[in-house]
Amino acid sequence: MASSRARRVAKELADMEADSKTSGITAQPANNSGDLTHLKACLPGPPGTPYEGGRFIVDVKIPGEYPFRPPVMKFDTRVWHPNISSQTGAICLDTLAAAWSPVLTIKSTLLSLQGLFESPEPKDPQDAEVAKMMINDREAFNKKAHEWAVLHAGAPQNPNFQSVQPRTVIAPQQIDDSKYRGYNKDLINRFVNMGFDIDRVVEAFEFVGIDRLDGQDYELEEAYMGDITARLLGEP
């Protein structure tokens, strides 16, 4: 690493150390050689999330072109999160790719990672299986995310995330069949049971252009799931 880059990384590490009691975020060389091109960072799970109290280790590699290219980061700690691969720890985050700027720092990027714990983005997933669970059954997602945080990151048990409360399911016979406008009831009710009004769900299906398939039930593609959810949430 060139001396100017080494000085910058060293200063960033010193700044993180000085602020660690407030932020809870730390980073240091991955081994005892003092090599500043390979770091291990530690993030605390934010309060109020299934990850609360966990300590999540992030592998950080500093490229030769830093700060003009972003650091390469992945989670060493296994995490159940739609934007983090449950198998490899790979991360889907704009600031680690196209949105990177030389004015950003290792700490600001780690803060963005911590922000993903508070605001997961299942419509832009790194792990499609996790994203699907989060969209279809948020309580089950929270429970599993917390279980993994306890198991892999040492988070304390939180009763708020230890059991899945039974969801209120609207019985199809209580709804006029015409409200489904030709769509399969179970297909529509997957979104209705997430708390959305049936008319809004059907409107979103029609807006996105979901095929009715003669009223048959089927699994929607991930892209369509994201488009429908975005429409229901009022996103452009």
Structure tokens at 181: 């406008």
Q: Is residue 42 among the annotated active site residues?
A: no
Which residue of the set 43, 73, 84, 92 is catalytic? 92
Rounded Cα distance between 228 and 222, Å, is 10
Three-state SS string across the chain, please? CCHHHHHHHHHHHHHHHHHHHHHCCEEEECCCCCCCCEEEEEEECCCCCCCCCCEEEEEEECCCCCCCCCCEEEECCCCCECCECCCCCEECCHHHCCCCCCCCCHHHHHHHHHHHHHCCCCCCCCCHHHHHHHHHCHHHHHHHHHHHHHHHHCCCCCHHHCCCCCCCCCCHHHCCHHHHCCCCHHHHHHHHCCCCCHHHHHHHHHHHCCCCHHHCCCCCCHHHHHHHHHHHCCCC
Neighbour count for residue 71 (Cβ, 10 Å) = 24
Rounded Cα distance between 214 and 154, Å, is 49
Catalytic residue list: 92
